[in-house]
Chains A and B, each alone.
Chain A
Amino acid sequence: MNVSSVKGSMSISSSTSAWKAGDTISDQFPAGLRVLVVDDDPTCLMILEKMLIACLYKVTKCNRAETALSKLRENKNGYDIVLSDVHMPDMDGFKLLEHIGLEMDLPVIMMSADDGKQVVMKGVTHGACDYLIKPVRIEALKNIWQHVVRKRKNEWKEFEQSGSVEEGDRQPKQSDDADYSSSVNEGNWKGSKRRKDEEEETDERDDTSTLKKPRVVWSVELHQQFVAAVNQLGIDKAVPKKILELMNVPGLTRENVASHLQKYRLYLRRLSGVSQHQSNLSTIISAQDPTFGSLSSLSGLDLQTLAATGQLPAQSLARLQAAGLGRASAKSGIPITLVDQRNIFSFENPKLRFGEGQQQHMTNKQQVNLLHGIPTTMEPKQLVSLRHAAQSVGNMNMQVPPHGAQSSQNNPLLMQMGQQQQQQQQQSRGQILVDSTINHAPRLSSMGQPILSNGMATNVSSRNGIPENIRAPGYSQTPSMLNFPMNHASELPGNCFPLGSTPGVSNLTSKGDFQEDVNSEIKGSGGFMPSYDVFNDLNQHKPQSWELQNVGIAFDSSQHSNSLQGNLDLTQSALGQQGFSSGQMNGHNRSAAVASKAMFSTGDVKELGSAQNVNQHLNNLLVDNTIRVKSERVCDTSPANIFPDHFGQDDLMSALLKQQESVASSENEFDFDGYSMNNIPVWKMVSSHCEYHVLLVFFEAYQGQIIGEVSKIRFCMICKGAHAEF
Chain B
Amino acid sequence: GYLDEQFIQLEELQDDANPNFVQEIVTLFYTDSTRLIQNIELTLNSRPINFSKLDDYMHQFKGSSSSIGAKKVTSECAVFRQYCAAGNAEACSNNMRVPCKSDANGDILAFTRTSSFL
B68 touches A47 (CB 8 A): yes
Is B9 in contact with A138, judged by CB distance below 8 angstroms? yes
Taken residue by residue from 47 to 63, chain B's Cβ proximity to chain A (1 for < 8 Å, 0 otherwise) reads as: 00000000010011011
Digit string of B82-110 for contact with A (CB within 8 Å is 1, else 0)? 00000000000000000000000000000
Given contacts A43-B28, A46-B28, A54-B13, whether A87 and B59 have CB atoms under 8 Å apart is yes
Distance (whole angstroms) from the CB of B76 to the closest CB of chain A: 13
Asked whether, in the complex, the Cβ of B59 is within 8 Å of the Cβ of A43, the reply is no
Instruction: A137 to B64: give the CA distance in the assembly, Å.
Output: 13
Closest to B62 in A: A113
Do the beta carbons of A134 and B13 come within 8 Å of each other? Answer: no
Contact flags (1/0) for A101-117 with B, using CB distance below 8 Å? 00000000000111000
> Any chain B CB within 8 A of the CB of A44?
yes
Residues of A within 8 A of B24 (CB): 46
Q: A54-B13, A112-B63, A113-B62 in contact; A43/B29 too (CB < 8 A)? A: yes
Main secondary structure of the interface of A (DSSP, over half): mixed
Q: Give B4's nearest chain A residue, CB to CB.
A: A135
A514 to B21: give the CA distance in the assembly, Å: 70
Chain A min CB distance to B14 (Å):
9
CB <8 Å contact, B9 and A44: no
Q: How far does the alpha carbon of A137 sit from the alpha carbon of B9 in the complex, in Å?
A: 8
Of B18, B21, B64, which is within 8 A of A41 by CB? B64
Assess the A44–B64 pair: CB atoms within 8 A: yes
Q: Are A113 and B68 in contact (CB under 8 A)?
A: no
Among A50, A113, A138, which residue has its beta carbon within 8 angstroms of that of B21? Answer: A50
What are the residues of chain B within 8 A of A46 when measuring CB–CB?
Answer: 24-25, 28
Which of B21, B56, B67, B69 interacts with A87 by CB under 8 Å? B56
Option from B13, B28, B66 in Cβ contact (under 8 Å) with A138: B13
Taking the closest CB of chain B, its distance from the CB of A477, in whole angstroms, is: 58
Q: How far is the CA of A112 from the CA of B18 in the complex (A)?
A: 26
Residue contact B18 to A44, C-beta cutoff 8 Å:
no
A135 in contact with B59 given A41-B32, A50-B13, A51-B13 (CB within 8 Å) = no
**Chain A residues with Cβ under 8 A from B74's Cβ?**
113
Cα distance A463–B12 in the bound complex, in angstroms: 59
CB distance from B69 to the nearest CB of A (A): 7
How long is the Cα–Cα vector from A136 to B5 in the complex, in angstroms?
12
Interchain CA distance A626-B64 in the complex, whole Å: 77
B27 CB, nearest partner CB in chain A, Å: 9
Chain A positions within 8 Å of B68 at CB level: 43, 47, 135
Does A42 lie at the interface of the complex (its beta carbon under 8 Å from any beta carbon of B)?
A: yes
A42 with B32: CB separation less than 8 A: yes
Assess whether B10 is interfacial by the CB under 8 Å rule.
yes
Instruction: State A114–B32 Cα separation when bound (angstroms).
Output: 19
A137: B residues at CB distance < 8 A: 6, 9
Pair B6/A87 contact, Cβ less than 8 Å: no
When C-beta atoms are compared, the residue in chain A nearest to B64 turns out to be A43
In the complex formed, the residue of B with least CB distance to A114 is: B59
Task: Enumerate A473-517 residues with CB–CB distance to B below 8 Å.
Answer: none
Q: How far is the CA of A40 from the CA of B6 in the complex (A)?
A: 20
Q: Kindly state the separation between the CA atoms of A228 and B37 in the bound complex, as whole angstroms.
A: 52
Alpha-carbon distance between A42 and B68 when the two chains are bound, in angstroms: 12
Residues of A within 8 A of B69 (CB): 135
When A47-B25, A50-B18 are in contact, do A134 and B60 touch as well, CB less than 8 Å? no
**How many A-B contacts if CB must be within 8 Å?**
60
- Minimal Cβ-Cβ distance residue in B for A87: B59
Chain B residues with CB under 8 Å of A113's CB are 59, 62-63, 66, 74
In the bound complex, do residue B67 and residue A43 qualify as a contact, i.e. CB atoms below 8 Å apart? yes
Partner of B67, one of A40, A54, A114, A135: A135
Say which size band chain B's interface belongs to: 20 to 34
Shortest distance in angstroms between A251's beta carbon and chain B's nearest beta carbon? 44
B60 contact set on A, CB distance < 8 A: 40-41, 87
Q: Which residues of B contact A41 (CB under 8 A)?
A: 32, 60, 63-64, 67
Bound CA span A87–B28, Å:
19
- Distance A46 CA – B31 CA, assembled complex (angstroms): 13
A47: chain B residues at CB < 8 Å are: 10, 13, 25, 67-68
Asked if residues A43 and B25 are in contact (CB atoms below 8 Å), the reply is: yes
Cα(A46)–Cα(B33), bound, Å: 14
Q: What residues of A have a CB within 8 angstroms of the CB of B33 in the complex?
A: 43
Tell me the nearest residue of chain B to A88, going by C-beta.
B60
Residue of B nearest to A111 (CB): B63
Min Cβ gap B78→A in Å is 9
How far in angstroms is the closest Cβ of chain A from B87? Answer: 18
User: Shortest distance in angstroms between B24's beta carbon and chain A's nearest beta carbon?
Assistant: 7
Kindly list chain A residues whose C-beta atoms are within 8 Å of the C-beta of B62: 113
The reply to whether B13 and A135 contact each other, CB–CB distance below 8 Å, is no
Cα A137 to Cα B67 in complex, Å, equals: 9
Separation of A44 and B10 alpha carbons in the complex (Å): 11
- In A24-49, the 8 Å CB interface with B consists of 40-44, 46-47
Which residue of chain A lies nearest to B27 when distances are taken between CB atoms in the complex? A43
What CA separation (Å) do A563 and B9 show in the bound complex?
60
Q: Which residues of A contact B21 (CB under 8 A)?
A: 50
Which of B6, B18, B32, B56 interacts with A135 by CB under 8 Å?
Answer: B6
Tell me, in angstroms, the Cα distance from A137 to B24 when the chains sit together. 18
Residue in chain B with minimal CB distance to A112? B63
Chain B: minimal CB distance from A141 (Å): 11
From A47, A51, A87, residue with most partner B Cβ within 10 Å: A47
B75 CB to closest chain A CB (Å) equals 12
Q: Which residues of B lie under 8 Å from residue A85 when comparing CB positions?
A: 63
Query: Which one of B10, B18, B60 has the greatest number of beta carbons of chain A within 10 Å?
Result: B60
> From residue A120, how far is it (CB to closest CB) to chain B in Å?
15
CB pair A43 B18 closer than 8 Å: no
With the chains together, A112 CA to B59 CA distance in Å? 9
Q: Is the CB of B59 within 8 A of A44?
A: no
Instruction: Quote the shortest CB–CB distance from A660 to chain B (angstroms).
Output: 59
Q: How far is the CA of A113 from the CA of B68 in the complex (A)?
A: 12
Within 8 A of B (CB), among A115-139: 134-138
A135 CA / B8 CA spacing, docked (Å): 12
User: Once the chains are docked, how many angstroms separate the CA of A112 from the CA of B66?
Assistant: 11
A134 touches B18 (CB 8 A): no
Contact B32 A43 (CB under 8 A): yes
What are the residues of chain A within 8 A of B13 when measuring CB–CB?
Answer: 47, 50-51, 54, 138
Give the Cβ gap from B118 to chain A, nearest Cβ, in Å.
16
Nearest A residue to B31, CB-CB: A42
The interface residues of chain B lying within 8 Å CB-to-CB of A51 are 13
Given the complex, which residues of A lie within 8 Å of B6, measured CB to CB? Answer: 135, 137
Q: Are A136 and B67 in contact (CB under 8 A)?
A: yes
Rounded to whole angstroms, the CA-CA distance of A614 and B59 in the bound complex is 67
Name A134's contact: one of B10, B29, B56, B66 (CB within 8 Å). B66
Chain A residue at minimum C-beta to C-beta distance from B21:
A50
List the 8 closest A-B pairs by CB distance, nearest first. Answer: A113-B63, A135-B66, A135-B6, A43-B29, A135-B67, A43-B64, A44-B67, A43-B28
Known: A42-B31, A85-B63, A87-B63. 20 other contacts (CB 8 A): A41-B32, A41-B67, A43-B33, A46-B25, A47-B10, A47-B25, A50-B13, A50-B25, A51-B13, A87-B60, A112-B63, A113-B74, A114-B59, A134-B63, A134-B67, A135-B66, A135-B69, A136-B67, A138-B9, A138-B13
A-B contact list, 10 entries, CB within 8 Å: A43-B68, A46-B28, A47-B13, A47-B25, A50-B21, A51-B13, A114-B59, A134-B66, A135-B66, A138-B13
B: residues with CB less than 8 A from A are 6, 9-10, 13, 18, 21, 24-25, 28-29, 31-33, 56, 59-60, 62-64, 66-69, 74
